[in-house]
Amino acid sequence: MQYKRFYYLIELQYLGFRYHGWQKQPDVLTVEHMLGKTLNYVLEGQRFKVIAAGRTDAMVSVNQTYAELFVYEEMLDLDTFLPLFNKNLPQDIKCLSIKETTADFNIIQHPKLKEYLYFFCVKEKMHPFCAPLMVNLQEDLDIELMKEGALLFEGDHDFYSFAFRSNPETKTEGTIDVCQLKENDIYTANFFPETSYVLKVVGEGFKRQQIRLMMGALIDLGRHRIDLSDLKKIIDGKNKIKLEHIAQASGLILNSVQLKN
C-alpha cells in the first residue's frame, strides 16, 4: 500500500551531556531515541521518519541544527504540533521551529555552513556546573601560541590527520573558512571562570571528531609538546601523520547550521 508522505524541516537544540550522541543505539540513551519516543507519543503512533543534518558524538551539545521529518498518511497542524512537541520533549531538548518542505529537499546532500565552538578554561578548578559546556585543563597553557596555531587551519587543506579512522575512500580534503581561538565572550554564567576560552571553527563539512582532533593538537601546542612547524606538518595531509589526542567531547558545541541556497 502506498502512503502519502508529508515533508517537514525541524530546527532543534539540545544539551548533549547525558546522551550517547545523536544516533540511536541499543541499550544507551541518545537524542534520536528521545526524539523518536516523543514523536511516537505526540503523533499517536502515526508512521514517521527523522533524518538529521549531521550526527553528534556523546556529550556534544547543539545550539541550533536541523532534521528532516517525514510523516505518513496525515498532514500536521503545525500551530498545535510545535507546542505539544515541546511540552513532551525532555527538558534538555527543544524544537525551535518547524516548517513544511518539499520532496526534492535532502537534508544530507543540501549545502550547509556549520559553526562549531569548543570551550575550555585553564589553571584553577572550575565550578562543577560548567562541566556540561566546558573542559577544565588544570595547567598553564601558552594561549598566545595556540591562537597562532588556530589560524593555520584556515583555508584549503588535506585534513588526513584530522579524519578519525579514515579509509582509502574517505575524502579528506576540505576548506575551513574561520578558525579562531579567543577569550570566551559568547556564553557566560555567574559560575563560569573569570576567564575562559573558545575555539571557533566555521566550514561546510567536517570529518568525524575533526574538531576534537584539531583542539587536541592545539592543546599539545599550548603544552609545548609540538611547535608551529610541527603543526604545519600535521595539517599537510601528505605527511600522513596519525593523531591520538582527541580533546574531551563535553567542551564542543555545534553552534549553528546555515542551509545555503
Cite the annotated binding site for substrate by residue number.
116
Let me know if 57 is a catalytic residue: yes
* Marked catalytic residue, from 27, 57, 92, 220: 57
Distance CA 118, CA 136 (A): 12
Task: Quickly count: other Cβ atoms within 10 Å of residue 68's Cβ.
Answer: 19
Distance CA 39, CA 23 (A): 16
Rounded to 5°, angle at Cα 217 from 211 and 220: 140
Task: Quickly count: other Cβ atoms within 10 Å of residue 35's Cβ.
Answer: 24
List CB contacts of 38: < 8 A, sequence separation 6 or more.
85, 88, 89, 90, 93
Residues at the binding site are 116
Which parts of the chain fold into alpha helices (H)? 31-42, 78-88, 143-151, 210-222, 228-235
Number of H helices, E strands in the chain: 5, 10
Catalytic residues: 57
